[in-house]
Amino acid sequence: MINSEEFTTCLIKHNLGLVIEVPCSYLKDILNYLNQTKRLEVINPVNEALVMGIASGYYLSTGKIPIVALQNSGFMNTLNALTSLNQLYQIPVFYLITWRGELGHDAPEHDITGLKMEEYLKTFDLPYEIVSESKYQNQISKLADIAIKTKKPVALVIRKGSFEAFPSLLKPEENYFSRYEAIKLIKESSGGALCISSTGFPSRDSFSVLDSPDFYMVGSMGHTFSIALGIAPNTKKKIVVLDGEGSSLMHLGGLASFNPDRIKNINYFILDNEGYESTGGQPTVSPNVNFKLLAKSFNFKNIYEVSKEAGLKEVLRKLKTAKESSFIHVKIVNSSQKVSEKRVSDKYTCPQIKERFMENFKRVKNH
């Protein structure tokens, strides 16, 4: 395995950095090292397309090649900027792209991008190397040299288990309750409602609480609310949306597209632990966001903020008689010790999740 200190020294030697990242669990150890040692500055924009814009601005103002760290599904979110900004203007970045779904051995949302990973890199003319424990220093040197000479992006592909363990110093806020406890209260109080849950732990916890015919998302991070926007006009039923703050912030355009005069049946819960818990607890930008003000600016009529079980129970009582869509910001603890082990994908394929949801929707949409 690769030592994070030595890897960082090599990046610095070749004058690479700032590090701009959207986390992946394959990168958690190097990110933990960087966040604790501060040897390279790390920033964490809310989505990968923004990463490319910031990286380009950094290069334009410093002449220094930035490091863009993300998983391969996130790489797909960078393709417009890659082709119409970075390659077009010859603005280099040094990608660190994790190879999720290599040989199909991963969660199902990584199957397609994982199996076609090298094909994508070749299609978009990205010089790349697959990281080697014994050769990574030469690989970084080679790729950095290409980026400097051609002024175009390059990629170092990171496999699972590439880095030695480097523990996080995450200290959970124990005054908050867990996501599982919050979701349990929400689902118990919302019997009969249609439910959509975000990729990662929200769907895992929701499935563990109750195996109901919900639309459990196991990929497409950031699209939870927009899916609800497409469903809501076609039913009289309440729609419960269980989202994480990282997912919500990733594509705020969904919330900006909300029309309160047209959509009156969504209860939108943001479960906020201030971290990307499923990738190792790296921080989100949530502490910088006033969610109550955000909800008001997006024209929600009912807006609530809770951090205690009693507060959530009181809000859930109010939601039973609400005539408008509601926005509920729920503070929860960031602790992987309180995560459900059950995965939806262990029991259902993604097409099965879709079919269950659609069959149930047909039965209940007018009730």
Q: What is the pLDDT, as a whole number, of residue 336?
A: 54
The answer to pTM > 0.75 is yes
**Mean predicted confidence (pLDDT) in 216-232:** 95
Q: Grade residue 296 by pLDDT with cuts at 50, 70 and 90.
A: very high
Contacts of 367 (CB under 8 A, 6+ apart): 192, 236, 237
Are the C-beta atoms of residues 260 and 324 closer than 8 Å to each other? yes
- Cβ–Cβ contacts within 10 Å for residue 263, how many? 17
Q: What is the pLDDT, as a whole number, of residue 174?
A: 63
Q: What is the pLDDT, as a whole number, of residue 337?
A: 54
DSSP E strand stretches across 113-199: 128-130, 154-158, 194-197
**More confidently predicted of 106 and 9:** 9
Distance, CA of 363 to CA of 360 (rounded, Å)? 5
Matching CATH number, 179-364, of 3.30.70.890, 3.40.50.970, 3.40.50.300, 3.80.10.10: 3.40.50.970
Q: Grade residue 309 by pLDDT with cuts at 50, 70 and 90.
A: very high
- Cα dihedral 359, 360, 362, 367 in deg (nearest 10): 170
> By CB neighbour count within 10 A (0-12 exposed, 13-18 middle, 19+ buried), where does 171 fall?
exposed
How far, CA to CA in Å, does 28 sit from each of 23, 213, 339? 7, 33, 18
- Percentage with pLDDT > 90 across the chain: 85
**How, if at all, do strands 266-272 and 239-244 pair?**
parallel
Q: Grade residue 260 by pLDDT with cuts at 50, 70 and 90.
A: very high
Instruction: Give the type of residue at 357.
Output: F
Closest CA to 24 of 67, 75, 58: 75
Q: What is the pLDDT, as a whole number, of residue 340?
A: 66
Q: Grade residue 341 by pLDDT with cuts at 50, 70 and 90.
A: low
**Mean predicted confidence (pLDDT) in 1-29:** 97
- Looking at every residue in the chain, the average pLDDT score rounds to 94
Q: What is the pLDDT, as a whole number, of residue 338?
A: 54
Whether the link from the prior residue into 255 is cis, omega within 30° of 0, is no
How far, CA to CA in Å, does 80 sit from each of 52, 105, 223, 351? 10, 28, 18, 28
Domain edges within the chain: 4-158, 179-364
Question: Which pair of structure tokens corresponds to residue 131?
Answer: 């990281």
Contacts of 311 (CB under 8 A, 6+ apart): none
Distance, CA of 109 to CA of 294 (rounded, Å)? 30
Q: Which pLDDT tens digit goes with each residue over 84-128?
A: 999 999 999 999 999 999 987 788 888 889 999 999 999 999 999
| Superfamily (CATH) of domain 4-158 | Thiamin diphosphate (ThDP)-binding fold, Pyr/PP domains (3.40.50.970)
Q: Do domains 4-158 and 179-364 have the same CATH topology?
A: yes
